[in-house]
Structure 1
């Protein structure tokens, strides 16, 4: 008897997508079709592949209101946030094309006189399994699918079980472009589906956007299979350091946005704010606390809302458990935990103060991973101590410095150990023309963004001669 899988609206529980949960034989059939599609698709010209991805951008543009509303309905994003995701998805197309042309297109290395030519070509990896997240259900899997298709791969998408309706919409949008059959397919389900898919002998690459726990599990599952390319984009315990000269109001705006945009459900959201003790320190913290208390929290239907709900009641419960653990470590709530009476996943932003805790307690805090609107602040004696505390985490995704000098920022970049390091902006600031990824427990040296194209193919080196070598190659040993 088949098992029915459903994905429902985050706000009202309305079923948005329903299908049979695939068993191992169904998943094997999907990858079998993908193998045949990959063989055909790699032979398609790059111009034709680019034409298909541009048609996808046109489809997104023509249907942006439709997909914006679906994102908002399924995962609870505020409409402005969902619309920004659609814009980023559209922009990703031309950026991926430019990245391919700049970083991964076939070329000849400084032609030499005579008959020998030195060529670099790029061969698609084959079949890529893309495991998408719920927080950017269109943009983040799309940011891997687009360069994979440009490079000539077949793709199997498993969207988040909490955002499968968006994944289905994406699949239908690609089909509308005329993309060849089975070049992009979708499987549905949760962890068990992903495990079965990763075990497929037809998998040539696995692309994850998700938690550290999920990334570690996949890394272990692929032990002994070095032929499978693995790209992990995981979470972080991202610090923002506030220098003594930072304006209090500017600090409040940048830190609160870093921590609480998208209900704190961005992997780059700030989890710790570290203030350099100075005559302005208390006014900076007071301005932050006051501004956060005034943030308007609401559902997507609330036009004035600045912070929306977390993905589910279960996510809110998990976040509350982390809050309680922070309190048990000695953190002092400056903006205490609060959930809106109207909706169990509508969590108000919370701030806790870790100043004065032991070094051991602070190490525990820096090792935690949480996904929601909660921030821990701390005070340190000077800038060097702030940089050191910011760096004392196994994660390494994003960091930001507010205030300070160019020399201080150079020190910050060199010592903070993160893949996205900003100055006088939020930790969530990213640009499509730059790489995007973390180090340490936040990634495995596969930055996405503009550089995602780099691990969608393998380089092939060729020494080419128009005629066979006439001289005896063994003459070098005579």
Structure 2
């Protein structure tokens, strides 16, 4: 059994419902314990509330120093973090090592963002001075996703703590293990007890945290869950919500462009992390005609040649999906596309290894009808053929989402048009859609979020501005109507 609750700097067994997590590559049990019940969630929030006053009152330099030490502690644990992530959710080890590195890098980026976007400014005036400062919200609930179980919650927790907030973190029950290493690293860095509490568990634990006395909710995950959270806090503007909810992302590939390079970018965009990135390309839009045929054929060739294996096998590009259920969902989604008129250029299939293992799929949906505007978290690429670039832009924007998108083309004029007209918060040219710079904002319009982008802009939702006009002495006002 494993401890499911971390409060006041100490782990203990939870009193909530039991759950297990199995490695999707091997089937091994990698987490076995009980989650936090409602009373334990309340204790975790109360602990964070108690720690808030001291932590928020420290000089910014003291909080920054703790986070810098945390970055050093993450480096010491990077191998353990990477292996834990891979065993939990199946990601290849090379990807998990990259994720551990981003956890360390997040600290310096967040420090720079906090200074630039949420720091202190001062100016002299004719009456004295004007001051702009920023204040923390209080206790922030952080809900972590399974696809980047270290990097993404870390991207909320680090800027929240820098700003002076305290946090209660609920990891995904599909990838709970990395939270232990994070708690250990923060403790070694000298983070005061209570500033970060952790409550493991499923839906019941998450519901208890939603109903607790929190000042903010920081979430990365599915649109359905994010919309539920948004409805839950309707009429409560005092609770800050930062919601990143994925996308049904388009990638336009247009002549002139190198066919092989374009196919490489498309495959990387759609199949990286087995399609389990919210920025993965779900829809690849190609021109009708011979050139588009060549690109489609080259994409299929790459899908057929992908190396797929367990996290600890060398040279693998794709690991399994996070669970057997996710693999079943991917097959059912593909079957639905075909049933509605899609043509399987290269079908996604369950592999004999079982568990979450699937191959990559490429489905031409140009003649399909009633394709749902949904995000499938898996390696299924939909190809759409259109007669002209105007139609390409129109099809790209035919989605409720708006997270990421891209154009592969050597034509500068096409890029100008796409950059002006495509509706995506992350829009790349001749680069994969799956990935973004930590030194820039991450988020998008529509159902992809609530206009509070993360990454460099996380500093914006972790603090509120306070504007002050200051004079050393009270002075008589000369406005008309006041007695002289």
What TM-score bracket applies, with the shorter chain setting the length? over 0.9
Q: Does 1:188 align with 2:194?
A: no
Post-superposition offset of 1:477:
11
Secondary structure class of the residue paired with 1:280: helix
Match of 1:458 in 2: 464
Post-superposition offset of 1:124:
0.1
Q: Which runs of 4+ in 1 moved over 6 A?
A: none
Distance 2:269 2:379 in 1: 10
Q: Does 1:80 align with 2:86?
A: no
TM-score (normalised: structure 1): 0.95
Secondary structure class of the residue paired with 1:462: strand
Q: Does 1:307 align with 2:321?
A: no
Distance 2:447 2:341 in 1: 25
Secondary structure class of the residue paired with 1:399: strand
Q: 2:400 aligns with which of 394, 399, 422?
A: 394
Match of 2:476 in 1: 470
Q: Is the 8 A contact 1:74 1:162 kept in 2?
A: yes
In the TM superposition, 1:109-258 aligns within 5 A as: 110-113=123-126, 115-200=127-212, 202-258=213-269
Post-superposition offset of 1:429:
3.2
Distance 2:288 2:88 in 1: 43
Post-superposition offset of 1:319:
1.4
Gaps of 5+ in 1: none
Q: How many residues align?
A: 470
Match of 1:5 in 2: 19
Q: Is the 8 A contact 1:244 1:277 kept in 2?
A: no
Secondary structure class of the residue paired with 2:58: coil
Counterparts in 2 of 1:208 and 1:477: CA distance versus 1, 3 Å? farther
Match of 2:333 in 1: 322
Q: Is the 8 A contact 1:7 1:165 kept in 2?
A: no
Match of 1:54 in 2: 68
Q: Does 1:348 align with 2:362?
A: no
Post-superposition offset of 1:440:
0.2
Q: 1:447 aligns with which of 450, 453, 456?
A: 453
Q: 2:422 aligns with which of 416, 421, 426?
A: 416
Match of 1:368 in 2: 374
Counterparts in 2 of 1:381 and 1:321: CA distance versus 1, 3 Å? same
Match of 1:274 in 2: 285
Distance 1:459 1:477 in 2: 35
Q: Is the 8 A contact 2:37 2:204 kept in 1?
A: no
Match of 1:102 in 2: 116
Q: Is the 8 A contact 1:76 1:299 kept in 2?
A: yes
Secondary structure class of the residue paired with 1:292: helix
Distance 1:343 1:328 in 2: 25
Deviation digits for residues 265-315 of structure 1, max 9, x if unmatched? 000001000002244111111111112111111111221211110000011
Post-superposition offset of 1:404:
4.1
Distance 1:8 1:149 in 2: 32
Secondary structure class of the residue paired with 1:164: coil
Secondary structure class of the residue paired with 1:460: strand
Q: Is the 8 A contact 1:332 1:352 kept in 2?
A: yes
Deviation digits for residues 416-436 of structure 1, max 9, x if unmatched? 111000000001131111100
Counterparts in 2 of 1:304 and 1:410: CA distance versus 1, 3 Å? same
Q: Which moved more, 1:304-313 or 1:9-18?
A: 9-18
Deviation digits for residues 213-238 of structure 1, max 9, x if unmatched? 00011111111211100010011100
Post-superposition offset of 1:13:
3.6
Post-superposition offset of 1:21:
2.3
Distance 2:17 2:102 in 1: 35
Q: Is the 8 A contact 2:24 2:356 kept in 1?
A: no
Counterparts in 2 of 1:25 and 1:388: CA distance versus 1, 3 Å? same
Q: Is the 8 A contact 2:25 2:319 kept in 1?
A: no
Distance 1:477 1:424 in 2: 69
Post-superposition offset of 1:209:
0.5
Gaps of 5+ in 2: 1-14
Match of 2:433 in 1: 427
Q: Does 1:334 align with 2:342?
A: no
Match of 1:384 in 2: 390
Match of 1:40 in 2: 54
Distance 2:37 2:96 in 1: 33
Distance 1:44 1:161 in 2: 34
Distance 2:53 2:255 in 1: 59
Distance 1:231 1:237 in 2: 20
Secondary structure class of the residue paired with 2:140: strand
Q: Is the 8 A contact 1:11 1:74 kept in 2?
A: no
Match of 1:263 in 2: 274
Distance 2:185 2:479 in 1: 55
Match of 1:90 in 2: 104
